[in-house]
């Protein structure tokens, strides 16, 4: 059995939201690997890792490291693994069925997240930080506000003032345009980054889009817009991945 550590929201019926954890949940679900989520609040991640000797998964701009989820514990190997890419590669090497890192594509897949970060994520961050904060339980909220306000040198409420939203969402739209263009070159009807074959690059895109979906909600105009952009490309991708969008077992969304 595999344990997947994740940070909960305060909403008991939909606790999952963390994009980095969703990458691994999607990999586990895609590969059909049984697992169970263990919830841990932000301020407790450090102690958990210290106690179990789990290496840090995050790096601050000053170069120092910090502990992060996702973390998995695999009872088959008695191993803890942290950092989403390392976990994904570990799962690929231990459980190679339904490969997400096809031979010959490793370099392209490993560098994919930097591209996605540059084109899309950096525009999404300011828009998402406050909505994420509002969903967290009090202990995580306090930690999140302190660490993020230190990182961004702004109050969370000032990261994306309402009057700036149209401009910021337009940047997100243009970022997604620039990801859609190379995908269109594979063929407009092809759903995945490498055309017909699902890889970890698609998992990365879907996990970050799930972050938006689960944080803002499916009824928001922002989410509906994303689904419709680029001739519905993102909507089609998300619909395809719905079969792996569950927490722990397929009956729990």
Residue the block writes with tokens 């890792």: 49
18, 37, 140, 215: which one binds ligand GSH (CB under 6 A)? 18
* Least spacing, CB of residue 247 vs ligand GSH, in Å: 15
Give Cα 12 distance to the centre of its chain: 20
Per CB under 6 A, does 9 bind ligand GSH?
Answer: no
As a whole number of angstroms, the distance between CA 35 and CA 4 comes to 7
As a whole number of angstroms, the distance between CA 234 and CA 227 comes to 5
3, 38, 58, 248: which one binds ligand GSH (CB under 6 A)? 58
Centre a 10 Å sphere on the Cβ of residue 17 and count the other Cβ atoms it contains: 23
As a whole number of angstroms, the distance between CA 23 and CA 203 comes to 6
Per CB under 6 A, does 2 bind ligand GSH?
Answer: no
9, 29, 68, 230: which one binds ligand GSH (CB under 6 A)? 68
Footprint on residues 94-113 left by ligand GSH (CB under 6 A): none
Per CB under 6 A, does 83 bind ligand GSH?
Answer: yes
**CA count, 13 A, side-chain hemisphere, 221:** 3
Q: Residue 93 contacts by C-beta under 8 Å, 6 or more apart in sequence?
A: none
Per CB under 6 A, does 45 bind ligand GSH?
Answer: yes
70, 126, 131, 175: which one binds ligand GSH (CB under 6 A)? 70
As a whole number of angstroms, the distance between CA 214 and CA 209 comes to 9
Using CB under 6 A as the binding criterion, the count of chain residues that bind ligand GSH stands at 16
**Closer residue to ligand GSH (CB): 33 or 121:** 121
9, 29, 37, 84: which one binds ligand GSH (CB under 6 A)? 84
Instruction: Show the DSSP H helices in 66-121 as ranges.
Output: 84-94, 106-110, 112-116
* Least spacing, CB of residue 93 vs ligand GSH, in Å: 17
Applying CB under 6 A, the residues found at the interface with ligand GSH are 7, 18-20, 42, 45, 57-58, 66, 68-70, 83-85, 147
């Amino acid at each position: 059995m595999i344990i997947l550590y994740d940070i909960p929201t305060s909403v008991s019926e939909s606790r999952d939201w963390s994009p980095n954890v969703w990458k691994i949940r999607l990999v586990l679900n895609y590969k059909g690997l049984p697992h169970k989520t263990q919830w841990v609040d932000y301020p407790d991640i450090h102690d958990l890792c210290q106690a179990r000797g789990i290496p840090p998964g995050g790096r601050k701009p000053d170069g120092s490291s910090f502990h992060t989820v996702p973390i998995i514990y695999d009872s088959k190997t008695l191993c803890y693994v942290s950092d989403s890419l390392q976990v994904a590669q570990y799962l690929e090497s231990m459980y190679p069925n339904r490969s997400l890192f096809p031979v010959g594509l490793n370099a392209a897949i490993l560098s994919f997240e930097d591209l996605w970060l540059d084109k899309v994520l950096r525009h999404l961050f300011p828009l998402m930080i406050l909505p994420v904060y509002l969903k967290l339980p009090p202990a995580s909220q306090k930690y999140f506000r302190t660490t993020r306000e230190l990182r961004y040198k702004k109050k969370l409420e000032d990261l994306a003032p309402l009057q700036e939203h149209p401009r910021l969402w337009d940047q997100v739209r243009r970022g997604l345009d620039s990801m859609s263009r190379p995908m269109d070159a594979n063929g407009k009807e092809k759903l995945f980054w490498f055309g017909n074959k699902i890889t970890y690059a698609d998992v990365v895109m879907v996990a970050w889009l799930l972050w938006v979906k689960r944080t803002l909600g499916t009824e928001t105009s922002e989410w509906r817009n994303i689904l419709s952009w680029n001739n519905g490309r993102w909507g089609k991708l998300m619909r395809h991945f719905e079969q792996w969008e569950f927490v722990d077992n397929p009956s729990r969304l």
